[in-house]
Structure 1
Amino acid sequence: MKNKRARWVLIILSLLLVVSMLLPYLAYAAEDEGPQLSSDAAYLYNTGTGEELYGKNEDKQFAIHNLSMLMTTYILIKDIESGKVSVKDKAKISEKSWRAPEPRMFLEVGRKVPVQKLLEGLTIAAGNDAAITTAEYLNGSTEKFVKRMNKEAKNLGMKNTEFHTPNGSNQDMSSAKDLFILAKALTDKYPQYQKYFTESKMKYDTRPGKTVILKNQNNFIYDNPHSTGLKSGWGNHQYHLVASVNKNGMKFIAVTLNASTPSKRSTDIYNLLIYGYNQYQVINIARAGEKYTDFSVYKSTTPGPSTVAYKDNVSVVTRVGVPEEELELDYEGHSYILGGTKAGDNLGTVNIYHDGRLLTKAPVVATESFERVKGFHAALDSIALVFRQIFDFVSNAHH
């Protein structure tokens, strides 16, 4: 009996040992399948490294409702940047715009609204009236503007998108991946406008003496401290989100479509982002002002060598598990300092690579100022500098 019991104990212990050895692989396999989401479609992309990380029905068409305003915003910014319109221009408000359903900017028919406020109305207030007024101002009618929206979508490579309105409806269709393409184009081409998407509120004078304060309709920017935008959507009891984040240099765009409640939409987007965060690490290379190396000094009354330092905090994002020792640092620029250089002047750049891929460029700067010397000493330094440049050329040629 004792031998039989001992044998069963040994078998159980062996099984436990095998399971414990397999747990890391089972966890990895589960993670590799991606997060469990209730939304009908989703897409996750690391914009910092250019990697597609996750997709669920990412090419399937769904009604996107007011997410159509992202394309309206894209076109408005494009026209502003090209000089076709100015933020100081004023657009006349039509009755069609005035009758738009909520959410609205409360534009009043017959008055004029600055383009700047239309931009804020699209990105912050998600105003249906702002979208309609933008369409009518830029192309004369919503019908003509919708044609332009579909043309822009085709040019961007959005293969599963059909716009029918500038502000969104049940007929406006797109996919999670197509909305990512639009979001990436918007943030890549016009990064200076991304700040509008994270503003918590805007003010607008609907008429003299009557100012309204409009809150940002995208709750994601309040709930996530790393949010950089972009837009939430809803309609027919379906909830969507196009989110962009930057967490310590880890940059993602995540899209979820057709969650059944706002809370499920929030849960899905967080699970999606955590899945992304868990695959990457941030390696801190140097702090701003930290020494990079020493440079020789020529044609100056101040003798060398002199310390040169990193201009900014330097960090890179890699896949989890990459050791810092595998990073390659390659310097390009001057390897010496000349008289007349001032503290803070850029001298060159440290390029940081992993597996041949450039991760970041880190400028280095002078840490002190150098007065220019003239006459005989300058002539001697000129000769020395010629030999130094020849040496650097030969060294770089063999590098």
Structure 2
Amino acid sequence: MEPTTGKVIYEKNSNEKFAPASVTKIMTMLLTMEAVDSGKISLDDKVTCSENAKKMGGSTMLLDTGEVRTVEELLKGVAIASGNDAAVALAEYLGGTEQDFVVMMNKRCEELGMKNTTFKNCNGLPAEGHLSTANDIATMSKELLKHPQVLKYTGTYMDTITEGRKSPIELVNHNKLVRFFDGCDGLKTGFTNEAKYCISATATRNNVRMLSVIMGAPTYKIRNRDASILLNYGFSKYEGKKIVAKDEDVDKIFIDEQTEKYFMAKAKDDLNAVVPKGCGKDIQKKVVIDELKNQYSQGEIVGKCELYLGEDKVGEVDIYSDRDIKKGNVFENIKYNIKNIFKDKDDKE
């Protein structure tokens, strides 16, 4: 998948249901990052780990009952070490209880259109009816990539947490592609006897990001091989194009046609498009103004510049006003009209 547009480049049995194992934790990370980026919680918030979190089996970050960790440390525990205990600690912090958090997870699935997914827990430990599909995993992975700070954790191969511990917590990423595949910075692996080997892998090269999902592979080597093949296939078919540079003029926006008052709409950031190779020349720009107002301040976000390839949106960036400007009043309009009357008269003479 090309995750900016959600374009599926290749798929096979993408709607077949599998146990997702620890790939489940992508949703746990998504809800956490959404809470962080919305200001509901902070990465520095302190979380006290419960007995319920401590008793989790499988892969853990070895939390103790009553141990206090920050949200960021727990995110590292989930993203790097695939800590089942860290996932439960975050779930209880955000939802009150793990089961209430699972309700939040399934609600988010509905919102994202993940019709073939049902979560029974926050970490992917075996549970009857805990199922998803490659297509749904790709959907929630695409959504998580809208929070790029998470890649700081998912793309880390090794880390150590020492504060408040007699013995340090050593974190080693279960996703070996982070170390061995060029450009890989996430997202999450999974394994149980029922699920076999799963992965949602993402990598970036030359301003192109790709996403591949493998479910039910018989060995971790086959999982990693197939994920790598799919990522390389995507990179061979798509290219990144810089269409607009940061602070570049995008359009002239008139707020008063009568007095010809306008501002220049400028791009807040670079605007890149990821498109099939050879299609860059077919990209069309569209400027969308949120609402036409009587005045704007310099630097104010006024809308977006959108890029389209056919009917598919392939990129967008916020645009801002380059100046303070105010629509003319009645007297200014009269003055302008009188000025133009005399100008027209002079032109005729």
TM-score normalised by length of structure 2: 0.71
Match of 1:319 among 270, 273, 276: 276
- Aligned pair in 2 of structure 1 residues 225, 110: CA closer, same or farther (>3 Å)? same
Q: Distance in 1 between matches of 2:121 and 2:280?
A: 50
Q: Which residue number in structure 1 is paired with residue 38 of structure 2?
A: 82
1:369-392 alpha-carbon deviations (Å, 9 max, x no partner): xxxxxxxxxxxxxx9xx99xxxxx
Work out which of the residue numbers 209, 222, 230 in structure 1 matches 2:179: 222
**Greater C-alpha Rg:** 1
Aligned counterpart, 1:272: 230
CA contact (8 A) 2:181 2:228 kept: no
Any residues of structure 2 matched to 1:117-132 within 5 Å, and which? 117-132=73-88
Q: Which residue of 2 aligns with 1:96?
A: 52
CA gap of 1:74–1:287, structure 2 versus 1, over 3 A, is closer
Counterpart of 1:151? 107
Match of 1:343 in 2: none
Deviation at 1:182, TM superposition (A): 0.8
What is the distance in 2 between the residues matched to 1:268 and 1:57? 14
Residue 135 of structure 1 aligns to a residue whose secondary structure is helix
Partner SS for 1:62: coil
Residue aligned with 1:103, SS = coil
What's 2:162 paired with? 205
- Correspondence 1:254 to 2:226: no
RMSD of Structure 2 on Structure 1 (CA): 4.1
Question: How far did residue 109 of structure 1 move?
Answer: 1.4
**For residues 353 and 163 of structure 1, do their structure 2 counterparts lie closer, same or farther at Cα, with a shift above 3 Å needed?**
closer
List aligned pairs for 1:56-71, cutoff 5 A. 56-71=12-27
Distance (Å, rounded) in 1 between the aligned partners of 2:28 and 2:272? 35
Q: Aligned partner of 1:211: which letter?
A: P
Give percent identity, aligned residues only.
30
CA distance in 1, matches of 2:57, 2:149: 30
Q: Deviation at 1:283?
A: 5.5
Tell me the equivalent position of 1:243: 201
Q: In 2, Cα distance between the equivalents of 1:328 and 1:155?
A: 30
Figure out how many residues of one structure are paired with residues of the other and give that number. 306
Secondary structure (helix, strand or coil) at the match of 2:74 reads helix
Asked if structure 2 preserves the Cα contact closer than 8 Å seen for 1:59 and 1:175, the reply is: yes
Is contact 1:201–1:215 with CA below 8 Å preserved after alignment?
A: yes
In the alignment, the residues of structure 1 paired with residue 59 and residue 234 of structure 2 have an alpha-carbon distance, to the nearest angstrom, of 32
1:105–1:214 contact (8 Å) kept in structure 2: yes
- What one-letter code is carried by the residue in structure 1 that aligns with 2:184? S
In 2, are the aligned partners of 1:108 and 1:206 still within 8 Å (CA)? Answer: no
Taking the aligned partners of 1:247 and 1:55, their CA distance within structure 2 comes to 21
1:55 equivalenced with 2:14 (yes/no): no
Matching residue within 170, 175, 181 for 2:133: 175
Contact conserved, 1:63 with 1:173, CA < 8 A, in 2? yes
1:349-399 Cα distance to aligned partner (Å, 9 max, x none): 998765576656799xxxxxxxxxxxxxxxxxxx9xx99xxxxxxxxxxxx
Distance 1:271 1:113, change over 3 A: same
CA distance in 1, matches of 2:198, 2:45: 32
Distance 1:106 1:319, change over 3 A: same
Q: Distance in 1 between matches of 2:165 and 2:276?
A: 56
CA-to-partner distance for each residue in 1:186-219, whole Å, 9 max, x for gaps? 112x223332210222322374432222112211
Query: TM-score, normalised on structure 1?
Result: 0.63
Q: Give the SS at the match of 1:87.
A: coil
Q: CA deviation at 1:222?
A: 1.1
Where do residues 387-398 of structure 1 align in structure 2 (5 Å cutoff)?
A: none
Unaligned residue ranges in structure 1 (runs of 5+) = 1-44, 293-309, 333-348, 364-382, 388-399
The structure that is helix-richer by fraction is: 1
